[in-house]
């Protein structure tokens, strides 16, 4: 699988993972379930917990690290490059930038912000407890920066960037980590702005009544207004890709689905022999603008993942490195110039150590691989490099299902001893049978 830092959970692809999740997790019970009637304190605020609570201590420990604004951090350098690009591209008559930047909004959001306000259907797989870190049934760690879109539009902003940490439950490998960072942007335009370069605009309109939705546009938009917006959006983003990867970069647009935009696309760039998806974007659903009191404007939006860009641009081989406090990592990015060309030099290569674990899935309870991944990460922390589902097996007579996972232990900063690995592996075995109600084989 290719890099997938900007995860696909908001799309409508019914892929194998989603189908199995829907089947397995209807009445899902979390491994890390907090007891009812308890409270947790996150970033200085108290939250009641309930049967939806599935945030883990390790994920909680990432709150407030704010890598995207940490001086000299590679994610912060890329953020600066993106913000500078927008300042340069979009300014008013007297040369002042028109985009405002929000990089300090709390990652704790409501289900309304993260999903409802963005028209994400109630049964959409991205809402599942298996995909998000819920604090309780109404509150979660934001799963994308788009969660702030409607509140910022409601405040009257027409051009803005929002940068921050986002949280998703996912598999474990060199490009997936439960916390990562995104930049989202919104631009809203009036009719005069959309047709700014057209002489006689009397005939032109942003909206039409009784229009029908097609692949090219939403029912309420005129084709001419959408085409102008699409052109500006795509130009802006290919310009950004060229600024980051160089003017020679090869790119392509792929049609995509997001509940909050239509039409929608992904931008892919060709990098080191493969097509890499770097962002999702589209024309904002007019219903969202109507609900936020901005019905007279048309808008575009996009969201991109910072880790993926930084891994390519700086040759960073493993996503865990961004969280490293080792100065051997951070010193390599000490530069006053965010455009400096930096190639990360591995501090040293420590050997990996692999160990398998097999268990029978519970017959009466629902089970999700993401529960297992979270548990492994809780016990092993950053000593876990990768966990893959190696084998699935159905017992011929009992029909019970068994999973075999291969865990790769490897620390980015030191060699792990056999003893340490055996100990963690033993603890994982113990905890899976206690917390996930599986039977270790
Ligand atoms: N929020 C989407 C994601 O995380 C990206 C996106 C943002 C797509 C804005 C369209 C518009 O995948």
pLDDT digits (tens, 9 = 90+) for 188-209: 999 999 999 888 888 899 999 9
The C-alpha atoms of residue 391 and residue 373 are separated, in whole angstroms, by 15
Looking at the CA of residue 264, tell me the nearest atom of ligand 1: 10
Closest CA relative to residue 31, chosen from 356, 362, 367: 367
Looking at the CA of residue 144, tell me the nearest atom of ligand 1: 4
Half-sphere exposure of residue 188: CA atoms within 13 angstroms, side-chain side: 24
Closest CA relative to residue 166, chosen from 266, 67, 265, 268: 67
Ligand 1 contact, 305 CB (< 6 A): no
120 secondary structure, DSSP code: -
Looking at the CA of residue 182, tell me the nearest atom of ligand 1: 4
The C-alpha atoms of residue 157 and residue 163 are separated, in whole angstroms, by 15
Tell me the CA–centroid distance for residue 281 and ligand 1, in Å: 6
pLDDT digits (tens, 9 = 90+) for 213-264: 999 999 999 999 999 999 999 999 999 999 999 999 999 999 999 999 999 9
pLDDT digits (tens, 9 = 90+) for 261-292: 999 999 999 998 999 999 999 999 999 999 99
Indicate the pairing of strand 401-409 with strand 353-360: antiparallel
Ligand 1 contact, 10 CB (< 6 A): yes
pLDDT digits (tens, 9 = 90+) for 126-168: 999 999 999 999 999 999 999 999 999 999 999 999 999 999 9
């Amino acid at each position: 699988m290719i890099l997938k830092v900007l995860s696909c959970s908001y799309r409508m692809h019914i892929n194998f993972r989603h189908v199995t999740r829907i089947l397995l997790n209807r009445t899902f019970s979390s491994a890390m379930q907090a007891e009812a009637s308890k409270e947790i304190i996150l970033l200085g605020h108290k939250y009641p917990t309930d049967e939806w609570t599935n945030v883990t201590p390790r994920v909680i420990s990432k709150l407030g690290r704010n890598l995207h604004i940490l001086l000299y951090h590679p994610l912060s350098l890329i953020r600066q490059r993106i913000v500078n690009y927008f300042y340069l591209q979009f300014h008013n008559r007297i040369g002042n930038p028109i985009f405002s930047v929000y990089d300090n909004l709390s990652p704790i959001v409501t289900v309304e912000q993260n999903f409802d306000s963005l028209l994400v259907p109630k049964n959409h797989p991205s809402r599942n407890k298996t995909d998000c870190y819920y604090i309780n049934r109404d509150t979660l760690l934001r799963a994308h920066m788009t969660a702030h879109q409607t509140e910022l539009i409601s405040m009257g902003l027409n051009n803005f960037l929002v940068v921050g940490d986002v949280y998703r439950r996912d598999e474990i490998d060199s490009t997936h980590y439960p916390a990562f960072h995104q930049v989202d942007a919104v631009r809203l335009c009036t009719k005069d702005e959309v047709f700014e370069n057209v002489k006689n605009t009397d005939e032109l309109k942003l909206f039409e009544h009784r229009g029908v939705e097609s692949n090219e546009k939403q029912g309420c938009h005129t084709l001419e207004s959408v085409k102008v917006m699409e052109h500006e959006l795509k130009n802006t983003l290919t310009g950004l890709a060229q600024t980051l990867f160089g003017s020679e970069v090869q790119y392509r647009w792929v049609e995509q689905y997001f509940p909050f935009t239509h039409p929608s696309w992904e931008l892919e760039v060709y990098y080191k022999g493969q097509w890499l998806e770097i962002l999702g974007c589209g024309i904002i659903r007019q219903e969202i603008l109507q609900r936020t009191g901005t019905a007279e404007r048309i808008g575009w939006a996009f969201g991109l993942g910072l880790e993926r860009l930084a891994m390519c641009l700086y040759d960073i081989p493993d996503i865990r490195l961004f969280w490293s406090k080792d100065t051997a990592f951070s010193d390599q990015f000490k530069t006053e110039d965010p455009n400096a060309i930096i190639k990360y030099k591995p501090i040293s290569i420590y050997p990996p150590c692999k160990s398998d674990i097999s268990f029978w899935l519970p017959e009466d309870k629902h089970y999700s691989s993401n529960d297992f991944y979270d548990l492994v990460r809780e016990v092993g922390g950053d000593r876990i490099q990768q966990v893959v589902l190696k084998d699935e097996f159905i017992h011929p007579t009992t029909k019970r299902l068994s999973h075999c996972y291969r865990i790769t232990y490897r620390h980015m900063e030191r060699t792990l001893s056999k003893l340490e690995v055996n100990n963690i592996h033993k603890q994982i075995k113990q905890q899976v049978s206690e917390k996930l109600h599986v039977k270790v084989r």
